[in-house]
Amino acid sequence: MLDAEQVAATVRGILAEQRADGAVPWFTGGHLDPWDHTEAAMALDVAGEHAAAERAYRWLAESQNPDGSWYAGYFGDGATGVSNRSVETNFCAYLAVGVWHHQLTCRDDEFLDRMWPVVRRALDFTVGLQLADGPIAWRLDEDGTPVQEALLTGSASILHALRCGLAIAEYRGEPQPDWELATGRLQHAVAAHPERFLDKGRYSMDWYYPVLGSALRGAAARRRIEADWDRFVVPGLGVRCVSDRPWVTGGESAELALALWASGDAERAVEILRWIQHLRHEDGSYWTGYVFEDDAIWPEERTTWTAGALLLAVAALGGDPATVAVFGAEELPNGLAVQGCC
């Protein structure tokens, strides 16, 4: 798919966007959010840029709110402060995935000592917003009011984060029984109860995220992927963001490739990644998406999180041990299933 120099060019593109304080905005002058920032940090680690990845995690540690959350949006270069004061729970939880990935990559217990309190506050905050039937409320409004609704994509991502958080807790010998209970209840909801989430079935992320987020594996994962393959996949181009729009996106395509790999379908994962090379810019960065009815790149931005998702998919397919362990999820703790809870 990519040779060493092509990978290096893509990594240079992410590094060029990283601010001096460690933050990684979407693109020059753009805003950043904690989830996509963490995705870029993991991509830096798979490329061997560990010091840059640590700076990214340090920014998260320094920016965390007292309650363990982060805001949904921060300004990029040219402005400072918060651009969106709402809070999205999956944005907050995803740090655990990045920190465990960094630990498996670098085996740096001192780093883990520094980040563990940050992860613990983030996951305590997230678990505190679990709804009675298992999902996690997807956001707090700008006034701090939690919504009483959940998103399947967000909850699937949180499930993955909780499992990584439990792996950190297990490694440190610091059990987190509240997380274990929350993980079991959340896994059951994501895997078996789509009716407990807002209906966002038009979006491809709701299709593949139960697989990417580790709720489904084996035959169940393969059935889910096959069920909507023709609705979302555009042969030769990639994956639609929304089923009824003629727009394929690099980030969703790379994530689907990672989900395919996790479900044992490496062949189609490679095919998807090859298709989206039409989004590659000559400098190694990637356009966000392409409107195929108009033969138009849109929006005209090349995002660090698109490059990050692609590099993680390439790393998994290439057998990078940390990426395989985190996204394959075979050795991540499962949490506790509570009989009759859901």
Averaged pLDDT, 29-49: 97
- Count CA atoms within 13 Å of residue 156 on its CB side: 24
Residue 223 is predicted with a pLDDT of 98
How many other C-beta atoms can be found within 10 angstroms of the C-beta atom of residue 264? 13
Instruction: Determine the longest span between alpha carbons in the chain, in angstroms.
Output: 55
Model confidence at 337, in pLDDT bands (50, 70, 90)? confident
Ramachandran bin of 329, using left for φ above 0, alpha for ψ from -120 to 50, beta for the remaining angles: left
pLDDT (tens digit per residue) in 178-201: 999 999 999 999 999 999 999 999
Please provide the distance, in angstroms rounded to a whole number, between the alpha carbons at the two ends of the chain.
Answer: 43
CA distance 323 to 218: 19
The model's confidence at residue 311, banded by pLDDT at 50, 70 and 90, is very high
Assess whether pLDDT exceeds 50 at residue 77. yes
d(CA 222, CA 200): 20
Residue 257 sits at φ, ψ, to 5 deg, of -60, -40
Is 70 exceeded by the pLDDT of residue 338?
A: no
Q: Name the least confident of 12-16, 296-300, 337-341.
A: 337-341
pLDDT of residue 339: 57
Residue whose tokens read 């563990």: 116
What pTM, to 2 d.p., does this model score? 0.97
**Residue 341 — very low, low, confident or very high, per pLDDT cuts 50/70/90?**
very low
CA distances to 55, 82, 241, 243, 292 from 246, rounded to whole Å, are 38, 33, 9, 8, 6
Q: What is residue 202's DSSP assignment?
A: T
Summary mean pLDDT of the chain = 96
As a whole number, mean pLDDT of residues 140-162 equals 97
Model pLDDT, residue 255? 98
* pLDDT score recorded for residue 78: 66
**CB of 156 closer than 8 Å to CB of 212:** yes
By CB atoms closer than 10 A (0-12, 13-18, 19+), residue 181 is: middle
